[in-house]
A and B are shown apart, each in its own frame.
Chain A
Amino acid sequence: MTEHTAEGLATRAAGCFRAYVDGDAAAMDRLVDLLTPILWHTARAQGAGEATAQDAVQTAWLRLVERAGTIREAQAVMGWLIVTVRRECWRLQRAQSRTDHELDETRPDPRPDPATVTVRHAEHILLWSHVEKLDARCQALLRVIAFADRPDYAAVSEALKMPLGSIGPTRGRCLAKLRASLTDDPAWGGAL
């Protein structure tokens, strides 16, 4: 939840995309600036190694431009990109597991890699220890949601195939689990 704008990331992305389709070529650069962080973390949350994650993000952008004419609903562009990155990671990871002797750097990380996440502050260490206790799918969801805005929560969950199953910006299962886990930890109260 990087910026708490009322309109959300998906809406700002839609604005850029509409401007691009209407002929403003620079609007695509703004869209790339806006969404590359959430797409990077989408790929990494799928357990993609660095090289794979970069490939998946780049491929998603190239596809978007190729298919810009077929995307009718600008509001759906962010979700479309997240879905495309997720599928591309899955495809690349499957291809790699078939040729497992390839370069180390193109191999996916063994798990969504909190191992490479350097946690410094005390509050961060505490929070991350609770995040790591969640199942892999919940961890993946929260790692992506964290880069969206509040109004985007449902769309991002949907794009990650973890729909919230209710209308409105409710917490959902994963954030609720994390919240319960934090609330049960006496150390957490002091960290807030």
Chain B
Amino acid sequence: MNPDHLATQPLDDVDVHVLDTIADILRAGDPVPAGLVDEVKFALTMQALHAEVAELQALGVDTAAARSAEYSHTQTLTFGAEALSVMITLSPLDDDTVRIDGWVTGHDGTVSIELRAGTRTLGATTDADGRFIIDPAPRGLVRFVFTPEGEVRPVITPTVEI
């Protein structure tokens, strides 16, 4: 068959079947990563709210071990933003979970906290001293969203491994 001639002909059912099959092959073999759609929607929401991105200022204790997600000691993370600062202490519970003790400073009122871990979201609120606890929290790649009461603009952290 001559491809030049075929190229100018209209698509037929066989072409549609061929393209459908290519799509099936790719859907099975190279699927859209789980969580990508949610991550995009989250990023768009944060953009719409003009979220401030906090900076990871300090990674305490076992930096190297924490990166490998096999740490067994307590470690701390510190995030800084214009609106507030946060210190987070991670205490391993088991292979899959950690306890998170957090302390938000720089904002007088209540702050609501969202922990985004893959497709899961966990919530917490600060007490009168600005402290909060998330226990248990799943290990893995996460990011935090802090929304001070009465404010529209949240503070989000970069993705970190806990």
Chain A residues engaging chain B, CB cutoff 8 angstroms: 1-2, 4, 25, 28-29, 32-33, 36-37, 40-41, 44, 50, 54, 57-58, 61-62, 65-66, 113, 116-120, 123-124, 127-128, 131, 142-143, 145-147, 150, 153, 166, 168-173, 175-180, 182-184, 192
Contact = CB atoms under 8 A, between A and B. Distances in A.
A113 B47 contact: no
B128 interface: no
Contacts of A28: 41, 44
Contact of A1 (B7, B23, B28, B37): B23
29 contacts: A25-B48, A36-B36, A37-B32, A40-B32, A41-B26, A41-B30, A57-B36, A58-B43, A61-B44, A116-B29, A118-B28, A118-B29, A124-B21, A127-B18, A127-B21, A127-B25, A143-B22, A143-B26, A146-B20, A146-B22, A146-B23, A170-B7, A171-B7, A175-B18, A177-B3, A178-B18, A179-B6, A180-B3, A184-B1
A65 B3 contact: no
Q: Which secondary structure dominates where chain B touches chain A?
A: helix
Contacts of B7: 170-173, 175-176
A175 B7 CA distance: 7
Contact of A32 (B20, B29, B40): B40
Interface in B11-57: 11, 14-26, 28-30, 32-33, 36-37, 39-41, 43-44, 47-48
Given A58-B43, A150-B11, A175-B15, 17 more contacts: A28-B44, A40-B36, A41-B26, A61-B44, A62-B43, A65-B44, A65-B48, A117-B25, A117-B29, A118-B28, A127-B21, A143-B26, A146-B22, A147-B26, A168-B10, A176-B9, A178-B18
